Amino acid sequence: MSYSEKVMEHFSNPRNMGEIENPSGVGTVGNAQCGDIMRVYLDINDGIVNDVKFKTFGCAAAVATSSMATELVKGKTIEEALKVTNAAVCDALDGLPQVKVHCSLLAEEAIHAALWDYAQKEGIAIEGLEPPKSDIHEEEEEEEAY
């Protein structure tokens, strides 16, 4: 198994790692195959993703794909951000080893979960956006409250 130069570069120097205070939306998802976790924060203004950050307990491929995915959604409209699929992210990274493709799903799912959170808070519907399958954010917050 070998990683492309782009994957190595994004893993060594990840873009948009961190968190956003008072984000417009937050999404946290887990990967059923490995148990790794990804959280994405979005700052949205006038339908544009002004800023995006991620935090992960994931592997090298998860870090690299999140770095690339966040670069691809930054500055985009919500509709454009929705089209940033894991396949698009893998392409932008010159591919991932087959066994690591599932890792790239984390970024896509966390972005979608954060958009869902934003839509819920704003009371709006985003066309084509499905409710997150595994948004574990609320559960975690409850735990933190104890």
Stretch that binds ligand FES, among 29-37, 68-76, 111-119, 138-146 (CB under 6 A): 29-37
Radius of gyration of the chain (CA): 14
Q: Is 123 left (phi over 0), alpha (psi -120 to 50) or beta?
A: left
Which candidate in 8, 17, 34, 59 is catalytic?
A: 34
Active-site residue flag, 34: yes
Query: What are the contacts of 41-47 at 24+ separation with CB within 8 A?
Result: 41/114, 42/111, 42/114, 42/115, 42/118, 44/78, 44/118, 47/77, 47/78
From CA 92, how far away is CA 28, in angstroms rounded?
23
Among 31, 66, 67, 86, binds ligand FES (CB under 6 A): 31
Element (H, E) at 55: strand 48-57
Interaction of residue 110 with ligand FES, rule CB under 6 A: no
Which candidate in 69, 78, 90, 103 is catalytic?
A: 103
Active-site residue flag, 90: no
Interaction of residue 136 with ligand FES, rule CB under 6 A: no
Stretch that binds ligand FES, among 42-50, 58-66, 113-121, 131-139 (CB under 6 A): 58-66
**Which residues make up the interface to ligand FES (CB under 6 A)?**
31, 34, 36, 58-59, 61-62, 103, 106
